[in-house]
Structure 1
Amino acid sequence: MVKSFLHQIPVQTLAPKQLFQQPAIRERSVNERFSAHLQQEINKDTHQLTISKHAGERMEQRGIFINDKTWNQVSKKIYEAKTKGVNESLVILKDAALIVSAKNQTVITAMNRHEASSQIFTNINGTILLD
C-alpha cells in the first residue's frame, strides 16, 4: 500500500489595492522619466530665434543691440508662448520692441521703445514684457 502525501502550498490572497499597486509604481516611474526628458529638452538652447532680413535691417538702422542673455530670455518666452497657442507676439524690452512670429520663431521687425510708443500693433495675440 502506497501512502501519498499532499503538500499544501499556502495561498496568499491579494486585496484589489495590492493587485494594482505595482503597475502604478511603474507608470509613475515612466511619467517621471518622460517629465525629466521633456524638461531637459525645454532647457536646451534649441529654441533659438531667427532674425528676418527686414528685422535685421531695422535693428541696424535704429541702432538696436540685444545682448545674448536677453536673446535667450526672449527665445525661452517665445517658445513658452508658442506652447500656449500664441502665433504672433509683441516683445517689449527695456530699449526695444520686437514683433515675433512664435509659430516660426522668427523676429519679424524691431523698433526702439520711443518709436514703439506711438504705434498700434495689430494681429498680435500675445505680449511678452522683459524689462
Structure 2
Amino acid sequence: MSDNRLYLSQQPFIPAQRTAAGQSSGAGKKPVNAGVPFDQLLQQELNQVKFSQHALQRMNSRNINLSEADLSKLNNAVEKAGQKGARESLILMNDLALVVSVKNKTVITAMDGASMKDNVFTNIDSAVII
C-alpha cells in the first residue's frame, strides 16, 4: 500500500497586513524591475559575468572588491572581447588583472597590483585595458 496523504509545511501562512489606507504593507514600493518581462530579466542575468570558485577565493584572499560600476565595465570589456573573437582574455582594470573565459563569461582568476608583478600570463589570446 502506498501512502497518499498530503504533507503540508509546518510554517503558517500569514496574509499581508492592511494599513489604515487599505493598502497592503508592501504597497507603495515598486519592485526594482517592475514592468520588465521575465524573459528579458533572465537574459540580462545570463549575460552577466560570473566568477569561478578559484577567482572568488583569490579575490577574498587579496581583499579585492568590485563595485557595480566595476562590474558594468567588466561586462562591457568581456562583450567587446567576444565581438573580436577572443576566447581567453586578460582584462586590466585599475590596479587589477582578471583572466576571463570570454565564451563562458567567467572570471577564472583575479590579481591585485602587488600579485601581478613578475607574473607571466599564459593561455590568453587577447588583452583588454579598461
TM-score range, shorter chain: 0.5 to 0.7
- 1:3-14 equivalences under 5 Å are none
> What displacement does 1:45 show?
4.3
Return the index of the structure with the highest Cα Rg: 1
How many residues were matched structurally? 88
Q: Residue in 1 aligned with 2:109?
A: 109
Alignment partners' CA distance in 2, 1:60 and 1:76: 23
Q: Structure 1 unaligned segments of length 5 or more: list them.
A: 1-40
Alignment partners' CA distance in 2, 1:68 and 1:107: 16
- Output one character per residue of 1:7-61: Cα deviation in whole Å (capped at 9) or x when no partner: xxxxxxxxxxxxxxxxxxxxxxxxxxxxxxxxxx9xx845210100010011000
Alignment partners' CA distance in 1, 2:81 and 2:109: 18
- Output one character per residue of 1:87-119: Cα deviation in whole Å (capped at 9) or x when no partner: 000011112111000011000001111211211
**TM superposition score normalised by structure 2:** 0.63
Q: Residue in 1 aligned with 2:62?
A: 62
Q: Residue in 1 aligned with 2:49?
A: 49
Q: Residue in 2 aligned with 1:20?
A: none
1:87 and 2:87 aligned: yes
Alignment partners' CA distance in 1, 2:87 and 2:128: 13
1:118 and 2:118 aligned: yes
Q: Residue in 2 aligned with 1:71?
A: 71
Q: Residue in 1 aligned with 2:97?
A: 97
Q: Which structure dedicates a bigger proportion of its chain to helix?
A: 1
Counterpart of 2:79, as a letter, is Y
Question: What root-mean-square deviation, in Å, do the aligned CA atoms of Structure 1 and Structure 2 show?
Answer: 1.7
SS at match of 1:65: coil
Counterpart of 1:102, as a letter, is V
Moved over 4 A (4+): none
Sequence identity (%): 35
Alignment partners' CA distance in 2, 1:50 and 1:110: 12
Alignment partners' CA distance in 2, 1:112 and 1:99: 12
Counterpart of 2:103, as a letter, is K
